[in-house]
Amino acid sequence: MDRRAFLIGGIAVAAVGASQIPRPRSAAAQATALVTSLSQLQSAINSATAGTTITLANGTYAVNSPITITGRNGTSSAPITIQAETRGGVTLTGSQTFVFSNSSYVTISGFSFRQATTLDLAANSFRLRLTRNDFQLASTVGHSVVVRGNDVKIDRNVFHDKSTAGCYLVIDGPSGDDVIAQRTYILRNYFRDHSFTGSNGGEPIRLGVSSRALATADATVEYNLFERVNGDPEAISVKSSGNTIRYNTVRSSTGGIVLRHGNGNRVESNYLLAGGNGIRIYGNDHLIVNNYVSDVASAGITLGSGTERDHTPGESEESRRGNDAPDRVTITLNTLRNNTQAIAGESQRTIQPLACKITDNLLVGSSGVLTDLPYQQGITFSGNILWGAAANGTIPSSGFTRADPQLAAGGDGIYRLGSASAAINAASVNHASEVTDDLDGQTRTAPYDVGADEYSTATPVRHPLTSADVGPGAA
């Protein structure tokens, strides 16, 4: 490699071939620099302005003093980018990591994080981005990444091989407050191989915390893959309000999707395959639609019960930790196939669901019972289709029919409707205000088909994710 010394911001760096250094992304972009030591990296960061790209030469660096990013501000069209020379070519070890303060529009890209300190994205910094990084922090670390600031994007990273308590990714907020980071975007990440053996505390994603549950986070979690994440029964643990969880795949994992605290969340078009848990629900005004849950060792969907009717501002800490009984939850157009049960409830808490709807779902099973809902006074059933050797269970006769959906497996292993399926055009109500496409991303036409699939001979737009669809190498 031709390395000719030149100066950027007073730092000696080296020229490299154009194929290795990204071109400036806009007219506002400034300089591109290759630095070869942590001291050069810190100096380059200290003088970075909007559009600066700083590239750290490949190698392993022991970071024993924080790499500080203070008062550095890019723009939407010209962010400050700090990146590895080649993706995965820089390994950061040691006791420290990047530390942000009063900064914005900064991107960290292509690093392998092996440090012993959580990467904490400060509440006073916003529009930060972590992209195409590899996170396997030292075994003594709690959480890998904590987001406290607004408008952060976490995309195309891999989080893997953790054996101790702690989450891969936590969305939180300012210390000592009850607000939460706003509008976090979590896209095409690969969460795999969390092997913590405790019963709690090893979630891949924890979206909020009990004390912030009533705060609207407005996060979007989409197109992420979870495989062999066994550190907690909750792969995506939602403890905040107003979030969208969609198009994710959870495969061969203990964890499921759990709305543990908070209100007004949307869980849409996710695949949960051959794992330990499906979708579990507490709190109010959620929509659970178009999901496909198959071969999990519990219920496909669990509508919980509560120790509290509702969480309220100013309630005691003990009360806030309790389970909020589901109110006005809609469970519709889901396909639940060959789970231990299709839809279940809970009786261990005394406050029952209220004004909930279970409509137009497809429930299929070969053994046991399809429904087990001990509290039914607060639930309205309609249009559900049941099939298979499994018994109906507790669902009232007015809320379902038994009919053959003619499910057949596609090349991706997902069972979809056959051309003569009883589910075609069988929806009992108009769901156009809730969803306009199906699990595959194909347009629904009224009257909708029952379950997550709208019958079509076209190639699906969406599919269960594989490792090729996510992580540092994803498109």
In a domain, 434, yes or no: no
Residue with tokens 């639609």, as numbered in its chain: 289
Rounded to an integer, what distance in angstroms lies between the CA atom of residue 406 and that of residue 423? 9
pLDDT value at 55 more than 70: yes
In a domain, 421, yes or no: no
Report pLDDT for 3: 33
Segment 192-228, tens digit of pLDDT: 999 998 888 999 999 999 999 999 999 999 999 999 9
First to last CA, the chain: 28
Query: Beta partners for 336?
Result: 293, 363
Domain count, the chain: 1
Report pLDDT for 463: 97
In a domain, 63, yes or no: no
Burial class (CB in 10 A: 0-12, 13-18, 19+), 254: buried
Reference 138, options 120, 155, 114, 122; nearest CA is 114
Burial class (CB in 10 A: 0-12, 13-18, 19+), 295: middle
In a domain, 314, yes or no: yes
Report pLDDT for 20: 40
Q: Is there a contact between 274 and 254 (Cβ–Cβ < 8 Å)? A: no
In a domain, 353, yes or no: yes
Predicted TM-score (pTM) of the model is: 0.93
Reference 207, options 222, 217, 197, 199; nearest CA is 217
Rounded to an integer, what distance in angstroms lies between the CA atom of residue 207 and that of residue 146? 10
Rounded to an integer, what distance in angstroms lies between the CA atom of residue 278 and that of residue 234? 9
Segment 291-305, tens digit of pLDDT: 999 999 999 999 999
CATH code of the domain covering residue 386: 2.160.20.10
Percent of the chain with pLDDT over 90: 88
* Residue 251: domain span: 138-406+462-469
**Cα-Cα-Cα-Cα dihedral sign, residues 232, 233, 239, 241:** positive
In a domain, 106, yes or no: no
Rounded to an integer, what distance in angstroms lies between the CA atom of residue 30 and that of residue 81? 11
Rounded to an integer, what distance in angstroms lies between the CA atom of residue 260 and that of residue 281? 7
43 sits in which H/E element: helix 38-46
Q: Is there a contact between 278 and 256 (Cβ–Cβ < 8 Å)? A: yes
In a domain, 86, yes or no: no
In a domain, 147, yes or no: yes
Average of per-residue pLDDT across 121-146: 95
Widest CA span in the chain = 80
Q: What is the mean pLDDT of the chain?
A: 93
- DSSP label at 444? P
Reference 209, options 133, 106, 88, 317; nearest CA is 317
Report pLDDT for 31: 66
Show Cβ contacts of residue 255 under 8 Å, excluding neighbours closer than 6 positions.
Answer: 203, 204, 226, 229, 230, 231, 232, 233, 234, 235, 236, 275, 276, 277
Rounded to an integer, what distance in angstroms lies between the CA atom of residue 446 and that of residue 214? 35
Segment 286-343, tens digit of pLDDT: 999 999 999 999 999 999 999 999 998 888 878 888 999 999 999 999 999 999 999 9
